[in-house]
Amino acid sequence: MQQKIPFYLLVILLISLGLGSAIYRHINLEVPWLPGETREAWSVEARLEFTARGGAIVARLAIPESQPGFTLLEQGTASPGYGLSYLTEEEIPAVRWSTQQASGKQVLYYRAQFLLDKGQDRPWPAAPEPLAAPILPEPTSLAAGRLIELARQQSANQITMAAQLLNALQSEDQQVQLLTQDRSLEETAVLLMQLAGIPARRVTALRLKHSRRNQDSHAYLMVYEADSVAFFNLATGKEGRPQRLLIWEMGDRPLIDLEGGRNTRVSFAMKRDVVPVQRALEQKYQDVSAMQVSLHSLPLEEQQLFRGLLLIPVGVMVVMLMRVLVGLRTSGTFMPVLIALALMQTALGAGLAGFVLVVATGLVVRSYLSRLNLLLVARISAVIIIVILLTATFSVIAYNLRIVEGLNIIYFPMIIIAWTIERMSLLWEEEGGEEVMKQGGGSLLVALLAYLVMSNYYIQHLTFNFPGLQLVLLALILILGSYTGYRLIELIRFSPLAQNDKDRSG
Amino acid sequence: MNWLISPRRLRKLGVLGMNQRNIEYISGHNERRLFPLVDDKLKTKELAVAAGLTVPQLVGVINYQHQVRTIAELLHTQEAFCIKPSKGSGGKGILVIHDHDDQEYFKPNNQSLTLIDIQRHTSNILAGLFSLGGQPDKAIIEHLIHFDEHFINYSFEGVPDIRIIVFKGFPVMAMMRLSTAASDGKANLHQGAVGVGIDIVSGRAGHAVQFDRPIEHHPDTDMPLADISIPHWHQLLYMAARCYEMSGLGYLGVDIVLDARHGPMLLELNARPGLAIQIANSEGLLKRLERITEMDDLALIPDDRVSFVQASFA
């Protein structure tokens, strides 16, 4: 028992490592446990409309980036006749359209898709450097000073102070009237922040609502306090950021900067999309380091390959169960896994029929070869060539009979089939056809079971998205490998002993 | 439920299962490096000769393909012989010739083979057709065993042999294997040979099975199986016990044949003996194995071990 302890420790270690990594992936990378889960994504379209004067045009539209709550999945434009460049490296990301000559009404589109994403941890841009307050006429400056003084008394920090100030702006106060006399409410708010020395930025935001057109943007004030950020709706003075508030622009600049046109107008259209998590994650992580996302960062073709590879341990596990717990005999220990893998490429029925057809025909040919008295290597080589010819023949025949599934036969591993034929034929000569049927049937049965498990949607999802679970499989296989109990078949095999037991006691 | 037995019942009967055999007995007591000694019959033979055990006399060994052509000269002086693969398993590839005139070679069922047939069989052996994992092999040519008159009617074509399971040098269980028409003259239980449980103390037959099910008479010759009693039984047990020191394997199947002239002869050793012996004896192995495990590792000589077995397993 003593030497068993390290073994169990290893098993426990493997299981906890495996489950741990899976849980980590689930929590930190939001990989769902079950396939078919969906996420909410928003397609937003900015429509820029203006009248061109007939000359060169340069139009610049600020564009949004990933931000807390939203992840940019993809973006694009529709602007025939315009040169296009993304200015994403600049402080305020923008898209720039340009053309040599245009006249009349012009419409340019920019589209972006955002994933509603609680896990997005890209920080907000840092607080802006406070600007020197402008010099104001005496009465205005006094009024502002009084408002600020009052707000400071009623607040605890910069955010609450900003709230007080914006709240005050909503009142019909005399001082407020004086301040808003020759500037808009928004400008007043920004001015007050400057005077009070509160780090804040004016931002342009969109409220996302399903299937809306012709929406306008809204002005918000973003107030910084140490590590936190608060949002205030500048029109109402209300604090808070609705979950579906997408901040479009954060540089306190106009959304549009146009040369060579007039009557500019920008409006937004938006709609909610439901995207499968898988796709959402693939897009989200397509340019993040491979360490974090492992297999999703590989090119599609390799991903496909790994999808198959990661299923093999599951198949191996099925074989293991059938051997150790049930006691089924198969020809070639892991041949069933290979058949199952091939079946996954073909349709099940066509695959099985093709396999049986090739093996059966191969056996007939092999029985002739055995009379030629060849060396083993030569015989197997001959069988391989024959198997390849057979698959080619069957494929052509199937194709001409319009059985497209017949073509899938090429997915079967030729060399494995050749060995199977060789083994079965030896078995036939030595132990007779019955044993061949028994082992062949056993192999097919296990292959079928392995296929059913491996082609399961949930299993495929789990193995591919949580490679850590392979360690759990490994641990299970280690446990199975030390199982000393009876096999199911032995319960039948040794049943005559029960008779004897009764005789003795009775 | 007659065709099924509960695992608890099996455990109570002390039946050894395949998984437990593999892990606790084969992996636990047989060192891997010793396997080649028993998997290669030629090596076993050399060991046995060195240990002073009687073995079927070796006529010759064919190592290389070019020697196959000269096989006729080797066989010329032998009236009856058998050709077997050195690394074969389960009785595969054993060709028995009981008479020949250098042109025609006769099998026990009087089927005649030509020299070409013999040569082809030998090449197949060399190519590894019958060996474990298809590895290249040697062909051994041995004197044919003239088996004891006692058993002439108990076997169909083949030679009956006695399998004794030896655990840490103690012979724990024995059975006789009789070939049948169903087993095609081979003494393998899963091919349809009859297994007769032999009482480890007295050497007398008890229970018998074919295809894992009890029978009373030999299916081909109709001889009552319960009448079997093995001569020189003590000598067989002693021989089996000696194989432990000889091979170093803790869990061992020893196959012995009774030759009419030379008495018990060691045929081969098996590092992975099957479990059917329990059905043939209608008794589980585990109780006996555990009895021996419980003993302190006394350095008993083979004679003492045989006495212990005969005293304990009565």
Cβ–Cβ contact A3 with B under 8 A: no
> What is the reported pLDDT for A405?
64
- List, in order, residues 6 or more apart from B313 with CB less than 8 Å away: B172, B200, B201, B288
pLDDT at A15: 93
Alpha-carbon gap, residue A9 to A478, rounded angstroms: 12
Q: What does A147-168 look like in DSSP terms, one character per residue?
A: HHHHHHHT-SSHHHHHHHHHHH
Q: What tens digit of pLDDT does each residue of B88-98 get?
A: 876 778 888 88
pLDDT band at A163 (very low <50, low <70, confident <90, very high): confident
- The share of chain A scoring above pLDDT 90, in percent, equals 9
Q: Chain B contacts of A497, Cβ < 8 Å? A: 5, 10, 13, 15, 278-279, 282-284
Decide if A376 touches B, using CB distance below 8 A. Answer: yes
- Please list every residue in chain A whose beta carbon sits closer than 8 Å to the beta carbon of residue B92: 430
Q: Which of A242-246, A324-328, B147-151, B241-245 has the lowest mean pLDDT?
A: B147-151
Q: Does B119 touch chain A (CB under 8 A)?
A: no
The letter for the amino acid at B65 is Q
Cβ–Cβ contact A430 with B under 8 A: yes
* pLDDT value at residue A288: 54
- Is the minimum CB–CB distance between B20 and chain A shorter than 8 Å? yes
Say yes or no to pLDDT of B152 above 90. no
Identify the bridge partners of residue B113 per DSSP, sorted by sequence position. B105
Query: For residue A428, how far is the Cα from the chain centroid?
Result: 51
Tell me the two tokens of residue B86: 């050195």
Best of A430, A482, A494 to substitute, by most chain B Cβ atoms within 10 angstroms, is A494
Q: What's the pLDDT score for residue A219?
A: 86
Asked whether residue A291 carries a pLDDT value surpassing 50, the answer given is: no
Buried residues in B162-185 as b, exposed as e (16+ CB within 10 A): bbbbbbbbbbbbbbbbbbbebbbb
Interface contact flag, B3 A493, Cβ < 8 Å: no
The answer on pLDDT for A116 being more than 80 is yes
**Dist CA A164 CA A160 (whole Å):** 6
Q: What pLDDT, in 10s, does the model give residues A355-410?
A: 888 888 888 888 888 777 677 778 888 888 888 888 888 888 878 887 766 666 67
Average pLDDT over residues B219-235: 87
pLDDT recorded at residue A25: 82
What is residue A294's predicted lDDT score, i.e. its pLDDT? Answer: 61
Cβ of B10: how many Cβ atoms within 10 Å? 25
The 3-class SS string of A420-481 reads HHHHHHHHHHHHCHHHHHHHHHHHHHHHHHHHHHHCCHHHHHHHHHCCCHHHHHHHHHHHHH
- Contact list in B for residue A498 (CB cut-off 8 A) is 2, 5, 9, 13
Percent composition of chain B: helix, strand, coil (DSSP 3-state, to 5): 40, 25, 35
> What would the pLDDT profile of B57-85 be if each residue is shown by its tens digit?
898 999 988 888 888 888 888 888 889 99
Mean pLDDT of A337-358: 81
pLDDT mean over A274-281:
72
Q: What's the confidence (pLDDT) of residue A27?
A: 83
A401-415, B35-49, B123-137, B202-216: which range is least confident on average? A401-415
Nearest in space to A265 (alpha carbons), one of A45, A97, A48: A48
pTM over 0.90: no
The answer to whether A495 faces chain B, any CB pair under 8 Å, is yes
pLDDT tens for A459-491 read 988 888 888 899 999 999 999 988 889 999 888
Q: Which residue of B has its CA nearest to A327?
A: B18
Q: What is the mean pLDDT of residues B247-262?
A: 90
Q: Are residues A358 and A420 in contact, defined by beta-carbon separation less than 8 angstroms?
A: no
- DSSP 8-state secondary structure symbol assigned to residue B66: G
The alpha-carbon radius of gyration of chain B (Å, integer) is 19
Contact A486 B10 (CB under 8 A): yes
The rounded distance, in Å, linking the Cα atoms of B170 and B240 is 8
Asked if A434 reaches chain B (Cβ–Cβ under 8 Å), the answer is no
Nearest to B139 by CA among B63, B232, B229, B252: B63
Q: In chain A, positions 472-491, which contact chain B (CB-CB < 8 Å)?
A: 482-487, 490-491
Greatest CA span in chain B, whole angstroms?
A: 60
Q: How far is CA A251 from CA A59, A65, A74, A221, A222, in A?
A: 17, 12, 22, 11, 11
Whether B191 contacts chain A with CB within 8 A? yes
Report pLDDT for A505. Answer: 41
User: What was the pLDDT predicted at B191?
Assistant: 78
Q: What pLDDT is stored for residue B38 in this prediction?
A: 87
- The whole-chain average pLDDT of chain B stands at 87
In the predicted model, what is the mean pLDDT of residues B174-191?
82
| Residue A69 confidence (pLDDT) above 50 | yes
The percentage of residues in chain A with a pLDDT greater than 70, rounded to a whole number, is 91
Q: Which of A183-192, B173-182, B203-212, B252-261 has the lowest mean pLDDT?
A: A183-192
Tell me, what's the ipTM? 0.81
Q: How many Cα atoms occupy the beta-carbon half-sphere of B221 within 13 Å?
A: 17
By CB neighbour count within 10 A (0-12 exposed, 13-18 middle, 19+ buried), where does B150 fall?
middle
Is a pLDDT exceeding 70 seen at residue A352? Answer: yes
Q: Tell me the per-residue pLDDT of A492-504, one tens digit each, with 9 for 90 and over.
A: 888 888 775 555 4
pLDDT at B291 over 80: yes
CA A46 to chain CA centroid, Å, is 27
Residue scoring higher pLDDT (B131 or A18):
A18
- The pLDDT, as a whole number, for residue A285 is 65
For tokens 């067989």, what's the residue? Answer: B236
Give pLDDT, residue B252: 93
Share of chain B above pLDDT 70, in %: 97
For the cut 60, the answer to whether the pLDDT of residue A290 exceeds it is: no
For the ranges A261-265, B91-95, B282-286, B294-298, the lowest mean pLDDT is seen at: B294-298
Angle between helix axes A433-454 and A335-345 (nearest 10 degrees) is: 50
Confidence of residue B49 (pLDDT cuts 50, 70, 90): very high
Is the CB of residue B234 less than 8 Å away from at least one CB of chain A? no
For residue A2, pLDDT over 60 is answered with: no
Measured in angstroms, the CA of A11 and the nearest CA of chain B are apart by 18
Residue A120: predicted pLDDT: 75
Residue A58 clears pLDDT 50, i.e. is over it: yes
Residue A142 has pLDDT above 90, yes or no: no
Banded model confidence at residue B242, pLDDT cuts 50, 70, 90: very high
Q: Flag whether residue B192 sits within 8 Å of chain A, measured between CB atoms.
A: no
pLDDT at A506: 34
Tell me whether residues B17 and A498 touch, CB distance under 8 A: no
pLDDT for res B140: 93
Q: Which residue has the higher pLDDT, A289 or A310?
A: A310
Contact A497 B5 (CB under 8 A): yes
